[in-house]
Structure 1
């Protein structure tokens, strides 16, 4: 006698639980899909507008940042440079305008940002005014001025590291590019060639960290010229020293005058 095994019926969920959840999902899914579809359709229909708004917001942000740090502002006088630029020894780019008794006249060249720079300078005065720059911590000799006029020919580009400001004059470390990678500081170069001597660093408190850094750099350059006997440190030869000693000897000068009188008589 065979017995038939019947599979036990699955446990049925209570009425009102599974059926209700499935019905809610069926009702909510079309609604959610409809909202997403509407948003996507609006974005597709107004894609150009969305892009323009994003671009405009980005441009406004860049303009606000650029104006706040004044990287694209053209300075026409030392007084226009913010105090924080001087305190942080910011480097400015410029073109040599001329070299006069007042110092090096440099036309400031700000950072150029396409589209934004023309917009900010569109309604401004386009006239140019040079900044008056002194080589910080350096006193030029006449030969040094000639060297400077020969090596800083307008409109060469230079970099000005701001050190201090007095009235309408900037005291800077002036650098010039040498090739595509290297640059050299003209303050140090003039001292290294013996064409200048160290001078007090105007506007920098003695004993400050900045003063000691500059003093060390400039002193090192001057010592090199002194050791090599260059420029104003040039040493006279033995013959030159002997000739000078003979010319300055009182007895020899007296004998020379007596000899001239006897010849005239």
Structure 2
């Protein structure tokens, strides 16, 4: 009897091990099936709510662009010189605008910010519809009366101009004002006025005279003025012989006295 029990023990152990392996396999299969069911459920949920997921992604993207745009102020409409960040002035950033009018103080320009579809209307929807223009002075330029007339003829509202910021002084912006000529070329009105002899160079307000930017602009404007002087244009125009003689006779005191006597004699 003892021998039979000894011989049956290995068979019993093998059967137990086989049963345990079967249970482990079954448990793994059940866990795998559960995992697949969870993945399938998540996939189905995503498919069923694909539009929602896309809308959330788009909303997050738009929100991110708005935050960035606001931080760098590229879509902000400036309505006063004080609203322009200092870094824009220091970096000589160019702003786009539309001419409103030419006044005794300078050029009134309505700022036109960069337009971004969807985002710009969202930011501007709740803002006041009224707009105030920026007051712009041609940096380094003193206009003659003829220069002001020329400017009024060549800057007709609502023409588009570019304002290269140079400095700010109270409510005044000192800028290089450029206007497009065709699609590929533009010209600086500060230089053009000097080149035509319709303005004189003036100190560039708001810049230290010894600064690199001051001297770059000084040389640039000086070259334009020298061209007008060499060609005798505008205020540099040289009078001819007969013009100088007529002016000398007109300014002669004796001739003026004789003219008054002659007119009095005729009236008597």
Same fold (TM over 0.5): yes
- Equivalent residue of 1:124, what SS? coil
Residue in 1 aligned with 2:242? 239
Hey, what's the Cα distance between the residues in 1 that align with 2:107 and 2:43? 62
* Deviation at residue 32 of structure 1 after TM alignment: 6.6
Instruction: Looking at secondary structure, tell me which structure has more helix per residue.
Output: 2
The CA distance in 2 between the partners of 1:257 and 1:168, in whole Å, is: 54
| RMSD after superposition | 2.9
How many residue pairs end up in the alignment? 240
1:147-167 CA distance string (max 9 Å, x none) = 001111111111111111111
Larger CA deviation: 189-198 vs 75-84? 75-84
Secondary structure (helix, strand or coil) at the match of 2:225 reads helix
Match of residue 181 from structure 1: 184
Cα distance between partner residues in 1 of 2:215 and 2:32: 73
Residue 99 of structure 1, CA deviation: 0.7
* Partner residue of 1:171 out of 151, 170, 174: 174
What residue number does 2:213 align with?
210
More displaced stretch, 191-200 vs 74-83: 74-83
Q: Indicate whether 1:192 and 2:195 are aligned.
A: yes
Structure 2 gap ranges (5+)? 1-20
The answer for the alignment partner of 1:98 in structure 2 is 101
Q: Which residue of 2 aligns with 1:9?
A: none
Which deviates more, 90-99 or 39-48? Answer: 39-48
Query: Structure 1, residues 176-201: CA drift from partner, whole Å, max 9, x if none?
Result: 11111111110000000000010000
In the aligned structure 2, how far is the partner of 1:172 from the partner of 1:129?
A: 18
Structure 1 alignment gaps of length 5 or more: 1-18
Q: Deviations over 1:97-149 (max 9, x none)?
A: 11111110111111111221111111111101111110000000000000001
Report the TM-score when normalising by structure 1. 0.81
**Residue number among 43, 47, 57 corresponding to 1:54 in the alignment:** 57
